[in-house]
């Protein structure tokens, strides 16, 4: 916890809250893509990768509902079932989605390059680490266990199903702050790769950092990214950076190796009494 007074907080970042898939594990945010595509296929509906990725970052039942409201998906659903998707359909699909996700999480929870080094730097800097996710608790527990086996363990983790509402609501961030006893909001940095991650950070009033290359907005596995030409890679990353900036991220980094520099910049701004 930072010292603060009525004259304004001029401390330093004391807590970084990371997203999981696309930010710290699962380069390209591929695990949920596989599960969403398959659960809709089992219901006779074909969705594109872009459609599956668009609501990424939301709690997963809400994610299914958001896909179902898309015009083309709704058209297919009406053609097959004679009506739009309703709550019962969403419940049924989520029940089928959960085991699909659990099946693929193990192979899609590899730590992203630069995460271990960044975590070590945060530890040396006495900055606490939290983790939040749109996954349900059982899935979040699997990811946390696999990440821990690779050397990354957060001080506190929480999933969207453990709060009143997932992103873009700020409740997961607040729960991490409470659990780790860090306040005010200016002392917190939220890091994620989706629009919902950025929106949650802004709604919480904390510093918000978007991650471009490794996340959902680029949406490429390591192998797919390596196959791009230099120009294609730069164009793809730049497009993801613009989208995160447009949502309102205070900073956008290409990958985790750049986070320490951003923490330094935030520290300097805090010393001048600036707020997120």
Q: pLDDT of 116-142, one tens digit each?
A: 999 999 999 999 999 999 999 999 999
- Locate 158 and state its tokens: 């929480």
Query: Which of the four pLDDT bands, split at 50, 70 and 90, describes residue 32?
Result: very high
Kindly list the distances between the CA atom of residue 120 and the CA atoms of 87, 125, 134, 152, 259, in Å, as whole numbers in the listed order.
Answer: 44, 9, 25, 9, 12
Architecture label for domain 31-107: Orthogonal Bundle (1.10)
| Residue 115 confidence (pLDDT) | 98
Which sequence positions are flagged as catalytic? 19, 60
Convert the pLDDT of each residue in 148-163 to its tens digit: 999 999 999 999 999 9
Q: Alpha-carbon distance 238 to 228, whole Å?
A: 14
Q: To which CATH superfamily is domain 15-30+109-271 assigned?
A: HAD superfamily/HAD-like (3.40.50.1000)
What does the radius of gyration of the chain's CA atoms come to, in whole angstroms? 19
Mapped onto helix, strand or coil, the DSSP state of residue 199 is helix
* Model confidence, pTM: 0.93
Q: Alpha-carbon distance 206 to 203, whole Å?
A: 8
φ, ψ for residue 83 (rounded to 5)?
-165, 170
Q: Taking the domains of the chain in order of start, what are their residue ranges?
A: 15-30+109-271, 31-107
């Amino acid at each position: 916890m930072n010292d603060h007074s009525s004259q304004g907080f001029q401390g330093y970042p004391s807590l970084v809250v990371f997203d999981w898939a696309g930010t710290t594990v699962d380069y390209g945010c591929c695990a949920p893509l596989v599960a969403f595509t398959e659960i809709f296929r089992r219901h006779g509906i074909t969705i594109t990768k872009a459609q599956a990725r668009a609501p990424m970052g939301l709690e997963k039942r809400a994610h299914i509902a958001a896909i179902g409201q898309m015009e083309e998906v709704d058209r297919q659903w009406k053609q097959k079932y004679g009506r739009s998707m309703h709550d019962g359909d969403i419940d049924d699909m989520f029940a089928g989605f959960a085991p699909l996700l659990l099946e693929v999480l193990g192979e899609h929870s590899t730590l992203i390059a630069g995460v271990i080094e960044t975590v070590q730097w945060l530890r040396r800097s006495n900055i606490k680490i939290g983790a939040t996710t749109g996954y349900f608790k059982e899935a979040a527990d699997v990811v946390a266990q696999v990440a821990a086996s690779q050397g990354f363990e957060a001080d506190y983790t929480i999933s969207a199903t453990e709060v009143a509402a997932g992103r873009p609501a700020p409740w997961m961030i607040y729960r991490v702050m409470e659990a780790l006893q860090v306040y005010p909001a200016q002392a917190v940095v939220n890091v994620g790769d989706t629009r919902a991650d950025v929106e949650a950070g802004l709604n919480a009033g904390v510093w918000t950092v978007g991650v471009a290359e490794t996340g959902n907005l680029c949406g490429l596995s390591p192998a797919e990214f390596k196959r791009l030409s230099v120009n294609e890679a730069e164009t793809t990353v730049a497009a993801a950076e613009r989208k995160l900036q447009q949502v309102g991220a205070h900073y956008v980094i290409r990958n985790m190796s750049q986070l320490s520099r951003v923490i330094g910049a935030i520290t300097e701004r805090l010393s001048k009494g600036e707020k997120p």
